[in-house]
Amino acid sequence: MTAIRPFSALAAFLLTAVSLTAQWQPYNANTSGVQAVRSITTQGGAIYLASFPLGVYKSTNDGASWSTVNSGLPTDGTNITIESVGSNATHLFAGTHSGIYRSSNGGTSWTPANGTLTANANVFANKFFNFGGVTFVVMSGMIANGGGVYRTVNNGDAWVVSHAGMGSNMTVYHIASINNILYAATSAGMVRSTDNGVNWNIVSGSNFAMYSVQGTPARLVCISDAGYKFSTNGGSTWSNATGGVAVPLAKSQLILYDGKYFAITGGSQGVLRSTDQGANWSAFNTGLASFDQVGLEEFHASGTKLYVGAIFDVYSINGTTTGVDQTGSSTLPVPYPTVFTDGFQIDLTSFQAGSTLLFIDAMGREVAQRSGLPGALVRVDRNGLAQGSYRLVLVNAADGRRVALGTVIAE
């Protein structure tokens, strides 16, 4: 079969570089009753919000309208004590004070999927993540009290302890996958797992309270109880950043998006942004209502948008394809075969290990990704990808640079 050209005129048109939106765009979700957005996820082109104490809101038209999808979720009087919402390829998950619930039909109905996990007002499903085909939940509270990290490979039929090696006095705040290695920010320091969360080890030199961590194989960035820091040696030593919050709150959060770091400060400073790999930070709040700026909760990135939830609304900024490599086809890898059933191969030897491959559908939506890819000849399995045509964009692990690789067709 003839290989495709990795950057055609059509791909160039569809991946035209645009500048990062200068300000946050409100969705005016409060006009639909949305408040206290604790968590955000996306699935199948829809946006889902965890709104405390109203339940899950869903929008299928990019936030133009919202409706509740709460059938089956537990109530406490008239309230739904929801703290989080997450998703994988097939299911939605909602974390409540009564446990984890799941939906396989876009929120139309929910059923319990908590297993033996602790569930109360102090220990609940706080955040959901997906790494290496595994769904993880970070529970609030100390491990000794039922907190910590748990994992499922069967959509919540069973949750298995995923914090072996962590201390019972630890509270886990955040986990990130960097080059197929998991890092967890905890109240007693940063820990690392090389087996996708089965076992963890304390990182020497990172034994201080840490609330969030992100990064690339060459550079880690964290928010700690001693401020914003970065490390170029895997966390053995850390340097202080400039412009970060001196004494951050435990609810602070980091995300690496579009080659830039964004931070929820957890206080009046709202959002900070770093464009130089976490060394310097400055306010990035234009467009946020003043009352929402002090009540931000959680980031979520999907496709070309970065979302953040707040007290009375949800906001987004547009991502950018600025920096998409338009080098001649002779220097770019070509996926083959172009038309595939089970999977295809692509040679990534010219890229740093840990890069991410994005699948962009015909409507411009990111519908799948493969993270932590090696710098080698890689087989990319279909893994449930729906029939259709997809543009491939590689996000380089070293600098966030985006490279258009071409189009594949799943039969």
What is the per-residue DSSP string for 211-280?
A: EEEEEETTEEEEEETTEEEEESSTTSS-EE-BSS-SS--TT-EEEEETTEEEEE-SSTT-EEEESSTTSB
Consecutive H or E run containing 10: helix 9-14
Domain ends where: 318, 350, 367?
318
Instruction: Assess if residue 38 is contained within a domain.
Output: yes
Q: Give the integer Cα–Cα distance in Å for 165 and 399.
A: 32
Residue 232's pLDDT band (cuts 50, 70, 90): very high
By C-alpha distance, which of 283, 335, 356, 379 is closest to 6?
A: 335
Q: Are residues 110 and 187 in the same domain?
A: yes
Let me know: does 50 contact 86? Beta carbons within 8 Å. Answer: no
Kindly state the tokens that stand for 287: 């467009």
| Range of the structural domain that residue 77 is part of | 21-318
Amino acid at 93: F
By C-alpha distance, which of 153, 154, 159, 167 is closest to 95?
A: 159
Instruction: Assess if residue 15 is contained within a domain.
Output: no
| For range 324-338, the mean pLDDT | 55
Consecutive H or E run containing 308: strand 305-309
Read off the DSSP letter of residue 9: H
> Pairing mode, if any, of strands 402-410 and 339-340?
parallel
Contacts of 330 (CB under 8 A, 6+ apart): none
Q: Are residues 332 and 239 in the same domain?
A: no
Q: Are residues 306 and 346 in the same domain?
A: no
For the cut 50, the answer to whether the pLDDT of residue 16 exceeds it is: no
Owner of token pair 């929820």: 264
- From the CA atom positions of the chain, what is the Rg in Å? 21
Q: Are residues 156 and 124 in the same domain?
A: yes
Q: Which of 75-79, 291-295, 323-327 has the lowest mean pLDDT?
A: 323-327
Kindly state the tokens that stand for 318: 């547009």
Let me know: does 253 contact 212? Beta carbons within 8 Å. Answer: yes
Instruction: Assess if residue 16 is contained within a domain.
Output: no
Please give the angle made by the CA atoms of 111, 138 and 261, to the nearest 5 degrees: 120
| For range 128-141, the mean pLDDT | 94
Owner of token pair 């008239």: 78
Q: Are residues 203 and 336 in the same domain?
A: no
Neighbours of 345 (CB within 10 A): 15
Q: Are residues 146 and 218 in the same domain?
A: yes
> Pairing mode, if any, of strands 402-410 and 82-87?
unpaired
Instruction: Assess if residue 388 is contained within a domain.
Output: yes
Task: Write the CATH number for 335.
Answer: 2.60.40.10
- What is the model's pLDDT at position 216? 86
Residue 320's pLDDT band (cuts 50, 70, 90): low
Q: Are residues 108 and 246 in the same domain?
A: yes
Domain ends where: 272, 302, 318?
318
Domain count, the chain: 2
Instruction: Assess if residue 382 is contained within a domain.
Output: yes
Q: For the whole model, what pTM was predicted?
A: 0.76
Q: Are residues 159 and 238 in the same domain?
A: yes
Q: Looking at mean pLDDT, say which of 65-79, 301-315, 394-408 comes out highest.
A: 65-79
Q: What is the DSSP string of 325-347?
A: B---GGGS---BSSEESSEEEEE
By C-alpha distance, which of 221, 223, 241 is closest to 231?
A: 221
- What is the model's pLDDT at position 398? 66
Contacts of 167 (CB under 8 A, 6+ apart): 143, 188
Instruction: Assess if residue 7 is contained within a domain.
Output: no
- What is the model's pLDDT at position 362? 66
- What is the model's pLDDT at position 363? 60
Backbone angles phi, psi at 143, to 5 degrees: -60, -40
Q: Are residues 364 and 305 in the same domain?
A: no
Residue 83's pLDDT band (cuts 50, 70, 90): very high
68/333: higher pLDDT: 68
Instruction: Assess if residue 295 is contained within a domain.
Output: yes
Q: Are residues 70 and 143 in the same domain?
A: yes
Q: Are residues 126 and 265 in the same domain?
A: yes
> Pairing mode, if any, of strands 305-309 and 282-283?
unpaired
Q: Are residues 294 and 369 in the same domain?
A: no
Let me know: does 107 contact 56? Beta carbons within 8 Å. Answer: yes
Domain ends where: 318, 343, 364?
318
Kindly state the tokens that stand for 364: 């411009």
197/305: higher pLDDT: 197
Instruction: Assess if residue 281 is contained within a domain.
Output: yes
Task: Write the CATH number for 233.
Answer: 2.130.10.10
